[in-house]
A = this chain, B = another copy of it.
Amino acid sequence: MPMEIVILGGTLVTMSCKGIIRDGAVVIEGDSIIDLGRTDEIKRKYPRYEKIDARGKVIMPGLINTHQHMAMSLLRGYADDYPLKEWLERWVWPVERHMSGYDIYIGSLLTAIESIMSGTTTINTMYHYMEDYNEARAISETGLRGVVGHVCFSWRKEHDIKALIELARWHGEADGRIRVSVDPHAPYTVDPEYMKELRILTKELNEKYAGDHGPIMWHTHLAETEDEMQKIRESFNLHVDGGIVEYMDSLGVLGPDVIAAHCVHLTRRDIEILRLKGVKVAHNPVSNLKLASGISPVPDMLREGITVALGTDSPCSNNSADMFEVMKITALLHKGVSRDPTVLPAEIVLRMATVDGARALLWGDQIGTIEIGKKADIIIIDFQRPHLKPLYNETSHLVYAAKASDVETTIINGQIIMENREIRTVNVKWVIEEAEKAREKLLKRAYEMNR
C-alpha cells in the first residue's frame, strides 16, 4: 500500500506561483503530492491519512545541491588553507588514489546523512564510478534523490568509457530517484577530441537509457580558476584566445543539458554564450572563497537570465554539506562585493536553492516546488527556536537565520527519510565508525607512500 501522509498546520512555502500558504497542508500519496491548501479544508478531505503536525513549522521543498563530490567527506578537514593546485596535487589526489569502492560508498553515505539532516533532498554528484560500491548505491540506500556522474580525464579514456556504460544502468533506478550524468572533469584535463567523443557517447547513452527517466546530462567544472585557458594552450598545444566558455563552445559541446560548476572567471562573451546555449550554472561560494578561486559574477549572470543554482562542492573544500549556509553566504557575498545591498534578496536565493536547482538538473517537472503532481520532496523546519524569533517574514528567516539543524523532517519521493532528526534508512553510528576506519587506513597508506 502506498504511503498516505498529510502534513497539517504549517506555513507552506510552496516556491510555486501559489506563494506562501499560512496554516497550510500538503497531501502525499505514494511518491507524489496529490493535494495542498488550507489545513481546515485538507483535514476534512483526507481524514484517514497518517498525520504530521507542522504547527509552528515551515513546510518547503527540499533543497537541491547542484555540485558535490559526495565521497570526499572522508577528507573533511584533512588539508585546509592551501592553494588549489597544491591542495589537489600534494594533498587530495595522493590520498584519493588509495580510495576503494567501499571507501567511496562510505564517504557517500556520510554525505548523504549530513545532507538529509540539513534539508537537502537532491544532490548532483561527480566522482569516480566503481562497480560494486559507489555513490549511486549510497543514494539508493539512504533514500536521497541524485544525479550521479563519472568524472572523465584524458589519461584514462578507456577506463572512463567502460565506467560510463556501466554507470548508465543506474539511470532511473531506485524508483526514479537516481539519474546519471557524463562528467568531463574540466576543459584543461579533457582534450578537445575526447570532449567531443564524450558528447557523442552521451547521445548514444541517452538513446539507450533515457526513456521516461529524463536525460543523461553533462556535469563539468568550468572557469573555476583564472589560468584555465593558459593550461589548455600548454596541455593541448593549442593556439586559442578569448574566454574558457568560448573555447568550450568552439568544440560544439555546450547546450541546455550542461551544468557547469563554478563559472568564476568569465568574459562578457562567456556570459553571453552561457545564456545563448542555455548552460546551467552551479554556484559554490564557500568552496570558491576557501580555495581563493575568486568570486563568480552571479548578479551579472542572473541579469542575463541564466539559470544559476547553488552547490556546496565537496565536504573537503567547504567543509560542510550545508545548503542553508550556502544560501546565507550567497545572499551576503554578492551584496558586499558589488556594494549593493539590494542584489540577491532572500526570495531570489531561496529560488536558487529550490526551483532553479531543479531546473538546472532538468528535473523541474518533478521537483523544486510543492505543487500537485510533483514528487513529494519536502522538508519541515522547526520555527519555534529562539534564533528564529520573532517572526516577521519566513523567507528572510529561511535564508538569513535558519540553520541546518532546524530541519526536523525530511521526506523524499514520498518516504519519510528523517523524522525528529532521526534518520530511518541507514545506521548512522555504523557509517561514522566506518568513516573513521577509512580515515585511518587512508592516512596509513599515504604515510607509507611518502616514506
Contacts and interface: CB of A to CB of B under 8 A. Distances in A.
Interface string A311-345: 00001001111100100110111011111111001
Contacts of A294: 336, 339
A319 B405 contact: no
Contact of A390 (B76, B335, B392): B76
Given A286-B332, A291-B341, A384-B432, A389 B80 contact: no
Given A292-B336, A332-B290, A403-B405, A386 B77 contact: no
A418 to B, nearest CB: 12
A401 interface: yes
A290 B435 contact: no
B289 A335 contact: yes
A346 B389 CA distance: 31
B432 A386 contact: yes
B77 A113 contact: no
Interface string A392-404: 1100110011011
Contacts of A289: 332-333, 335-336
A233 interface: no
A117 interface: yes
A337 B295 CA distance: 8
A438 interface: yes
A52 interface: no
Contacts of A113: 386
B81 A346 contact: yes
A342 B77 contact: no
B435 A80 contact: no
A346 B328 CA distance: 20
Given A114-B387, A335-B292, A341 B401 contact: no
A357 B333 CA distance: 24
Contacts of A82: 341-342
A313 to B, nearest CB: 12
Nearest to A82: B341
Contacts of A164: none
Query: How many copies are assembled?
Result: 2
Contacts of A335: 81, 289-292
A288 interface: yes
B392 A439 contact: yes
A114 B405 contact: no
Contacts of A400: 77, 80, 290, 318-320
Interface in A283-302: 286, 288-295
Contacts of A396: 77, 80, 319
Given A335-B292, A387-B322, A392 B78 contact: yes
A117 B386 contact: yes
A391 to B, nearest CB: 7
Task: Give the most central of A295, A341, A404: most B CB within 10 Å.
Answer: A341
B80 A387 contact: no
A60 interface: no
A389 B292 contact: no
A318 B328 CA distance: 10
A81 B319 contact: no
Contact of A387 (B321, B336, B392): B321
B341 A292 contact: yes
Contacts of A340: 292
Given A76-B390, A291-B341, 8 more contacts: A73-B390, A83-B342, A118-B387, A292-B340, A295-B336, A325-B325, A337-B337, A389-B436
9 contacts: A80-B400, A87-B341, A292-B335, A294-B339, A320-B401, A325-B328, A386-B431, A387-B404, A390-B435
Interface of A: 73-74, 76-78, 80-84, 87, 110, 113-114, 117-118, 286, 288-295, 315, 318-322, 325, 328-329, 331-333, 335-342, 345-346, 384, 386-387, 389-393, 396-397, 400-401, 403-405, 428, 431-432, 435-436, 438-439, 443
